[in-house]
Structure 1
Amino acid sequence: MHVEPEKINSILATDCGSTTTKAILIEKRGEEYRLIVRGEAPTTVEAPAEDVTKGVLNAVTEVEELSGRKFLKDNLIITPQQGNIGADIYISTSSAGGGLQMMVAGVVKSMTAESAARAALGAGAIVMDVIASNDGRLPHEEIERIRHLRPDMILLSGGIDGGTTSHVVELAELIGAANPRPRLGIGYNLPVIYAGNKDARSTIVETLGKKTALDIVDNLRPVLERENLLPAREKIHDLFMEHVMAQAPGYNKLMSWVDVPIMPTPGAVGEIIKTIAELEEMQVVGVDIGGATTDVFSVFSKIFNRTVSANLGMSYSISNVFAEASLENVMRWVPFHMEEKDLRNRVKNKMIRPTTIPQMLEELVFEQAIAKEALRLAFIQHKEFAVGLKGVQKQRTISDAFDQTSSGETLVDMMELDLLVGSGGVLSHAPRRNQAAMMLIDAFLPEGITILAVDSIFMMPQLGVLSKVHSKAAMEVFDKDCLIRLGTCVAPVGKSKPGKDCLHYKITYPDGKVKEDTAHYGEMKLYPLEVGQRAQLHLEPVRGFNVGAGKGKVREGTAIGGVVGIIIDCRGRQPFEVPTDPHKRVEKLQEWMKAINAYPEELYSIGT
């Protein structure tokens, strides 16, 4: 069904998560689209219901009750709208049933295999493993690994067009020998997408055509210097609908209700991040921190990347965060003294009771300390993955002779970053928005001038799929109802001694009032600037510090207002350091937290 965007006045959208199904109603009010109501219900993909549509109907029933309008008739969603009944379109995303789980295979681990992983991640998949000819594993180990993991589908790539075919054919033979059974559904063959050297296609068909459900798309790396990920991503989406979704309980019914294909939830969040970057001509980083995984999205120089840190989350994976980050790194964010035994008990308690939320102030601070480390580690993984093409010869100048990282450089440039968006319970539901701002700043260490925001009630997935149908409606709701603007962070890059001058600045408010001041190294300051307001910034870093125009050079800029305001962060970058002495650490953390009004006063008497 195709509906002209200008004829759409009401949109019903759901997101079927692993535990909760969320439904939202968007309507055109005057000349703009706005969120009207939101409902939610437990997801029903598992026993006893074993029908995903039951949870959808329950969530939509709540929307009916809250809006006073009817959307259901005979357990079906009414589309298009008739008078005051139904909605013009119904759309949905899903990560129920564990989402989309894939394996990718490529000839060279740092080249075609990495391109294949980028294609899968960009389509919203969790990449379970990457198999490559040079990954150091023996053939029988790789065969055993494929059989053991039972992915939803495999993406196979390798070789530039016209190059050698033997290596990619060997990978196909491994997949054929493993003859893996798909995770969902017994009576069909595993989908395999071939996106490698076109000269090997006939041999690939001979090897895998009868054992798997084989699809062939254009090469991911037709030449060494260029990636072509779109055909593979689109095919992954199609197969996700045809095979993976079709096997999950109730999805066939849900697929018949929607007006556009269901998208994997992370793929849909990626779509809204891409849409913002494109329409606003911005460099954007988005993060979604969940109970089990943390997804990071970025758009730099119009190149989109997504990574999934499958072992970094706030409930089921909290022990992994603690183990990977180390005790010292978690404790450096805790502004009071705490026994190691008590700390470890709290982590274990959260792991075995993943749905609990903090009841006491110190529990909240401790949970947010772990969140900072989960976000930091996920972002490190993202920067390592979001790189320029490896294996490509660059034209080099004499200055490059001293720089040995000419290919595979990260695309993430924090000084160029315009907007940092956070999503997920620990960020969206922080009791004070100042806490969310502090978590984002401490974890991502933005540089120069950066706008900070959080997703208010996690509707980015629904807006992502809506952006494919009606980008204007998606962006209006995103801007007015989804995005909570926290404010602007100003952070000079450099290193000095505590207390030394770092940044002279002038803030010119919309009413003409001017605030001039100097921030010292190791200091944070907060200035009010309300949502919807803009202030002009005149920034003069001292010698050795950079705010985006070069070391010691003046930068003019604009601060966007928010519920927190303008945060001046002169704690240094490259490196950013928290005092290691416990007493000095507590003193410094409390000073920073008080400076940006993150916590109530009683926090600072805990442990004294």
Structure 2
Amino acid sequence: MTSSPSSPVQFDHPLNVIVATDCGSTTTKAILIEKVGEEYRQTYRGEAPTTVEAPFEDVTRGVLNAIAEIEELSGRKILDGEKIVTPNRAGQGDPMTGVDIYISTSSAGGGLQMMVTGVVQSMTGESAQRAALGAGAIVIDVLASNDGRLPHEKIERIRSMRPDMILMSGGTDGGAVTHVVEMAEYVSAAEPRPRFGATYKLPLIFAGNKDARPQVQRILGEKAALEITDNIRPVLEKENLAPARDKIHDLFLEHVMQQAPGYRKLMEMTGAPIMPTPAAVGVIMETIAKREGLNLIGVDIGGATTDVFSIFKGVFNRTVSANLGMSYSISNVLAEAGLPNIMRWVPFTIDEQTIRNRIKNKMIRPTTIPQTLDELQIEQAIAREALRLALIHHKSLASGLKGVQQERMISDMFEQQASGKTLIDMLQLDLIVGSGGILSHAPRRIQSMLMMVDAYEPLGVTALSVDSIFMMPHLGVLSTINEKAATDVFVRDCMIYLGTCIAPIGQGKDGEVSASYEIVFPDGKTVRDRLRFGDLTLYPLEPGKSATITVEPAKHVNAGAGIGVTLTRKVQGGVVGLLLDGRGRPLQLAEEQGARIASLKKWFDAVGLYPAAS
């Protein structure tokens, strides 16, 4: 079945019982979704180790083991030997046999690793990077004519990286072809070999200047599995990423997945195209944002990488910080953030060498989990920095088109400015969605909420939530065949609303009044108080309930409606509640260690974060 992920698959039978798997790099997770009355619910879950490596070298073994666990828990017969019984037998007198469809996502084998090329690094190179990231790839390098590397260095880099696929872009339609052809010659000279499969040609997509197509075909047609699609930047003012993204998905299925152990069997088992896990997470986030009309940031923080997704004014962006993670890549977080930035979140005194040793131990023993409160606090301090750095990276790529002439006033006539302004406007952000072990499995939900608030520093009024058991990939691929089923389960079983954060923008001395506020709770109870600089205040507000808050900021403070302007908003509750953050924006922690630790303890106590830490 070669349908692109953006076009819904049609079925001639109702989908009432669905089994979905996500084949991760270490664990294969299976869920059962059933129609209960008029709505879909996630009913059972199973998991098993992924079996893509020796001794099994067959991804379907792990899939069948995870589904067997669901069979055992639900009492439904799903497997017949090594086959999944589809469609189910509800119409033939046995409602507990079979499922209507089996679907899957995958990031086993390290996911989809791509190299992209462009002419100008900050223009076509960046557009190609956005296309690849949006299709669920990890971009291992961006080559461009102006990237400062000598020809032999470019050729050596292409040869040594062994990507799964290359995306070539460059030039606007009708423009010069010289540099585009030059990049094709570098690729040809490198004769890159793919990571998997010694006998097949490397998939290569050309999405550049259409006038360069004949020469690119001549240079690379014999050396790679060349596919030509529409230009990513047909004109400077326009980005056209969808054709390249769809082509990446198709080639991922036809070439890359075919080489990984057992994937051919898995593709025969599924009733819809397999999607890369990150692409599926992006699809469900995009679906929800469009359905609810939200500006949204989502994050999936893993052991090796941190993915950030955003939808602002309907524009979708995804980035992968391939060097920021909580186990395999934890030392990279230390290197990039610096030890002082990690230690500023630790609410006790600890010497530098001890903290470095703990970080290195986590890297060499990636499956260990914190055994003491101190270890948990250190790990959550590192997570704050990984999240913060990944968002900075995301903001730099989720930007307007660089090199585009802007409409200007006469006073700006002599200034040549590139656009390149980030699309991420934290004041317009409605919802932050957290996912990944450190956020989804934090011992207490307030820990997840404060990690995201500290890392992202939301402005004004922002709702926060977490993915309960990491089922967003399953729901992403499901949304391409049944959007109602995917959104039903997402809202009712996947998304856990933590609550809402109200964070006035501005700074002042600790104890000074940042704002006065009034909260009218759903039971009619009213609270009036003042929020002071340096304070955190938490009010319980149950999931599904909403309250009305009126914030009257100090003259130099912006509560979200403008400096000194009173804001009235309806705010949603959650398992944590309503968090009023008076610590100021941007957030600044005390330089002196004793004062900083005292502040951290005060904040943690105020929200009941670590009861034993005080």
Supply the distance in 2 between the matched residues of 1:405 and 1:434 (Cα, whole angstroms).
43
Equivalent residue in structure 2 for 1:57, among 64, 67, 70: 64
The Cα offsets for residues 352-399 of structure 1, whole Å up to 9 and x where unpaired, read as 111000110111011000000011111111111110000001112368
Match of 1:598 in 2: 609
Q: Does 1:496 align with 2:508?
A: yes
Match of 1:27 in 2: 34
Q: Does 1:577 align with 2:588?
A: yes
Contact 2:554/2:564 (<8 A) preserved: yes
Contact 1:400/1:406 (<8 A) preserved: no
Secondary structure of the residue aligned to 2:426 is coil
Match of 1:12 in 2: 19
Contact 2:21/2:31 (<8 A) preserved: yes
For 1:206, the aligned partner's letter is R
Q: Does 1:157 align with 2:164?
A: no
Secondary structure of the residue aligned to 1:111 is helix
Match of 2:422 in 1: 410
Secondary structure of the residue aligned to 2:433 is strand
TM-superposed CA distance for 1:501, in Å, is: 0.6
Q: Does 1:202 align with 2:202?
A: no
Contact 1:110/1:390 (<8 A) preserved: yes
For 2:97, the aligned partner's letter is I
For 2:598, the aligned partner's letter is E
Match of 2:559 in 1: 547
Equivalent residue in structure 2 for 1:89, among 85, 89, 101: 101
Equivalent residue in structure 2 for 1:460, among 472, 480, 487: 472
The Cα offsets for residues 450-508 of structure 1, whole Å up to 9 and x where unpaired, read as 00000010000000111111111111111111111100000011111211110111111
Query: C-alpha root-mean-square deviation of aligned residues, in Å?
Result: 1.4
Match of 1:521 in 2: 533
Match of 1:344 in 2: 356
Secondary structure of the residue aligned to 1:105 is strand
Supply the distance in 1 between the matched residues of 2:525 and 2:416 (Cα, whole angstroms).
49
Equivalent residue in structure 1 for 2:255, among 235, 240, 243: 243
Supply the distance in 2 between the matched residues of 1:292 and 1:273 (Cα, whole angstroms).
22
Structure 1 pair 399/524, CA: closer, same or farther in 2 (3 Å)? farther
TM-superposed CA distance for 1:82, in Å, is: 1.1
Match of 1:67 in 2: 74
Contact 2:405/2:417 (<8 A) preserved: no
Match of 1:511 in 2: 523
Spell out the pairing of 1:224-373 with structure 2 (5 A cutoff).
224-373=236-385
Spell out the pairing of 1:92-131 with structure 2 (5 A cutoff).
92-131=104-143
Supply the distance in 2 between the matched residues of 1:414 and 1:586 (Cα, whole angstroms).
28
Contact 1:288/1:424 (<8 A) preserved: yes
The worse-fitting range, judged by mean Cα deviation, of 16-25 and 80-89 is 80-89
Q: Does 1:420 align with 2:432?
A: yes
**Structure 1 vs Structure 2: percent identity of aligned residues?**
63
Structure 1 pair 240/372, CA: closer, same or farther in 2 (3 Å)? same
Match of 1:531 in 2: 543
Supply the distance in 2 between the matched residues of 1:465 and 1:400 (Cα, whole angstroms).
47
For 1:220, the aligned partner's letter is I
Could you tell me which runs of 5 or more consecutive residues in structure 1 were left unpaired when the two chains were aligned: none
Structure 1 pair 578/399, CA: closer, same or farther in 2 (3 Å)? farther
Q: Does 1:44 align with 2:51?
A: yes
TM-superposed CA distance for 1:402, in Å, is: 12
Supply the distance in 2 between the matched residues of 1:26 and 1:153 (Cα, whole angstroms).
34
Contact 1:115/1:221 (<8 A) preserved: yes
The Cα offsets for residues 507-532 of structure 1, whole Å up to 9 and x where unpaired, read as 11112211111101111100110000
Structure 1 pair 568/459, CA: closer, same or farther in 2 (3 Å)? same
TM-superposed CA distance for 1:422, in Å, is: 0.4
Secondary structure of the residue aligned to 1:104 is strand
For 1:104, the aligned partner's letter is V
Supply the distance in 1 between the matched residues of 2:133 and 2:413 (Cα, whole angstroms).
34
Moved beyond 6 Å, runs of 4+: 398-405
For 2:61, the aligned partner's letter is K
Supply the distance in 1 between the matched residues of 2:455 and 2:280 (Cα, whole angstroms).
24
Supply the distance in 2 between the matched residues of 1:55 and 1:134 (Cα, whole angstroms).
45
Supply the distance in 2 between the matched residues of 1:305 and 1:399 (Cα, whole angstroms).
33
Could you tell me which runs of 5 or more consecutive residues in structure 2 were left unpaired when the two chains were aligned: 2-8, 91-95
The worse-fitting range, judged by mean Cα deviation, of 510-519 and 364-373 is 510-519
Contact 2:52/2:58 (<8 A) preserved: yes
For 1:603, the aligned partner's letter is A
Secondary structure of the residue aligned to 1:450 is strand
Structure 1 pair 64/401, CA: closer, same or farther in 2 (3 Å)? farther
For 1:522, the aligned partner's letter is G
Match of 2:226 in 1: 214
TM-superposed CA distance for 1:74, in Å, is: 2.1
Q: Does 1:480 align with 2:492?
A: yes
TM-score by length of 1: 0.97
The Cα offsets for residues 187-210 of structure 1, whole Å up to 9 and x where unpaired, read as 111111000111111111111111
Supply the distance in 2 between the matched residues of 1:403 and 1:582 (Cα, whole angstroms).
45
Secondary structure of the residue aligned to 2:122 is coil
The Cα offsets for residues 550-599 of structure 1, whole Å up to 9 and x where unpaired, read as 1110111111110100000011113x111111110111001111111111
Spell out the pairing of 1:154-193 with structure 2 (5 A cutoff).
154-193=166-205
Q: Does 1:586 align with 2:606?
A: no
Contact 1:5/1:469 (<8 A) preserved: no
TM-superposed CA distance for 1:279, in Å, is: 0.4
Structure 1 pair 5/444, CA: closer, same or farther in 2 (3 Å)? farther
For 2:613, the aligned partner's letter is L
Secondary structure of the residue aligned to 1:515 is strand
Supply the distance in 1 between the matched residues of 2:225 and 2:212 (Cα, whole angstroms).
17
Secondary structure of the residue aligned to 2:121 is coil
Supply the distance in 2 between the matched residues of 1:336 and 1:404 (Cα, whole angstroms).
50
Supply the distance in 2 between the matched residues of 1:415 and 1:300 (Cα, whole angstroms).
11
TM-superposed CA distance for 1:3, in Å, is: 4.7
Supply the distance in 2 between the matched residues of 1:3 and 1:506 (Cα, whole angstroms).
51
Contact 2:514/2:554 (<8 A) preserved: yes
Contact 1:5/1:470 (<8 A) preserved: no
For 1:476, the aligned partner's letter is D
The Cα offsets for residues 101-146 of structure 1, whole Å up to 9 and x where unpaired, read as 0000000000001000000000000000000000000111000000
Contact 2:403/2:418 (<8 A) preserved: no
Structure 1 pair 64/425, CA: closer, same or farther in 2 (3 Å)? same
Supply the distance in 1 between the matched residues of 2:461 and 2:414 (Cα, whole angstroms).
30
Secondary structure of the residue aligned to 1:292 is coil
